[in-house]
């Protein structure tokens, strides 16, 4: 198995954290998705990370599809469920959706800056719309933070919320519009002591 990844992508982090929790602690194969890496191009027509190459060569793409594969192939009770008991799944997925929406707005902002440079995409009408998605997504998750467990095996909502919080700090930590989210901060601090989170924290490669 090979995980094509980079050091910053929040989608990579969701997939990697989930994989580690399901017992697959695979050192990532670092690629630059923007450099048209041949391995990435061959495996994923979208040329994006994460891309997980299974042992039989099957390429899995899209972070949440990788999570689906993990849930299907390593199900509870032999493996921890990332969705929790049936009565909690809707809430877990609803909170995950909020986090993923804000994560997508963040990565679109970072990616589209490459298109519009030297003009800053962030201040355009669409850029401001994406900012609103980030701000409102973080605020809504902050309001629901107490529903996200902080101990035991993390569920998908915890993985996505911490991934969002840390990515926002990395990319937009100096921006005045970034809302204060003390509950999400505490959630991130709690989970980042766990190996699957600590090993996947994003950093800017030099
Ligand atoms: N929907 C995809 C998004 C993956 C994605 O956008 N990855 C970015 C890095 S954060 C990438 O590889 N971008 C390269 C490109 O867009 O060409 C997922 O869930 O995995």
Model confidence pLDDT, tens digit, residues 147-191: 999 999 999 999 999 999 999 999 999 999 999 999 999 999 999
Residue 33 beta carbon below 6 angstroms from any ligand 1 atom:
yes
- Alpha carbons 202 and 169: distance in angstroms, whole number: 10
- Residue 60 CA to ligand 1 center (angstroms) comes to 13
Nearest CA to ligand 1 atom 11: 48
Can you give the residue ranges of every domain in the chain?
Answer: 2-73, 86-195
Please give the pLDDT value at position 161: 98
Task: Write the CA distances from 11 to 14, 16, 147, integer angstroms.
Answer: 5, 9, 22
CATH superfamily of 2-73: Glutaredoxin (3.40.30.10)
If you measure from the C-alpha of residue 50 to the centroid of ligand 1, how many angstroms do you get, rounded to a whole number?
7
Q: Is 107 in the pocket of ligand 1 (CB under 6 A)?
A: yes
**Integer CA distances (angstroms), 198 to 17, 76, 154, in order:** 9, 24, 13
Return the residue whose CA atom lies nearest to atom 2 of ligand 1: 62
pTM of the prediction?
A: 0.97
Residue pLDDT, tens place only, 100-156: 999 999 999 999 998 999 889 999 999 999 999 999 999 999 999 999 999 999 999
Q: What is the mean pLDDT of the chain?
A: 97
- Which overall architecture, per CATH, does domain 86-195 show? Up-down Bundle (1.20)
Is pLDDT above 80 for 206? no
Q: What is the pLDDT of residue 52?
A: 98
- The DSSP bridge pattern shows strands 2-5 and 59-61 to be unpaired
Lookup: tokens for 136: 């409102």
Q: Is residue 43 over pLDDT 80?
A: yes
Distance 11 CA to ligand 1 centre (A): 7
Q: What is the pLDDT of residue 88?
A: 96
Residue 199: which pLDDT band, with cuts at 50, 70 and 90? very high
* pLDDT over 80 (residue 19): yes
Which of these, 148, 163, 184, 202, lies nearest to 63 by C-alpha position? Answer: 163
Question: Atom 15, ligand 1: which residue's CA is nearest?
Answer: 48
* Ligand 1 atom at shortest distance from the alpha carbon of 9: 10
Rounded to 10 degrees, the C-alpha dihedral 72/79/145/169 comes to: -80
Q: Is the Cβ atom of 11 under 6 angstroms away from ligand 1?
A: yes
What is the CA(85)–ligand 1 centre distance, in A?
30
As a residue count, the chain comes to 206
Spacing, Cα 71 to ligand 1 middle (Å): 22
């Amino acid at each position: 198995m090979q995980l094509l990844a980079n050091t910053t992508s929040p989608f990579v982090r969701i997939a990697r954290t989930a994989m580690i929790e399901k017992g697959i602690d695979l050192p990532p194969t670092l690629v630059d998705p923007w450099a048209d890496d041949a391995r990435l191009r061959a495996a994923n027509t979208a040329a994006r990370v994460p891309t997980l190459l299974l042992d039989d060569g099957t390429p899995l793409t899209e972070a949440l599809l990788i999570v689906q594969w993990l849930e299907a192939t390593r199900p509870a009770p032999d493996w921890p469920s990332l969705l929790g008991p049936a009565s909690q799944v809707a809430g877990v997925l609803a909170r995950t959706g909020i986090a993923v929406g804000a994560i997508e707005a963040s990565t679109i902002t970072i990616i589209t800056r490459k298109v519009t440079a030297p003009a800053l995409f962030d201040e355009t009408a669409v850029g401001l719309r994406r900012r609103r998605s980030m701000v409102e997504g973080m605020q809504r998750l902050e309001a629901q933070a107490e529903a996200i467990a902080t101990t035991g095996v993390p569920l998908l909502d915890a993985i996505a919320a911490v991934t969002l919080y840390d990515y926002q700090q990395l990319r937009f930590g100096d921006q005045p519009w970034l809302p204060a989210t003390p509950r999400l901060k505490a959630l991130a601090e709690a989970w980042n002591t766990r190996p699957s989170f600590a090993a996947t924290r994003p950093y800017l490669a030099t």
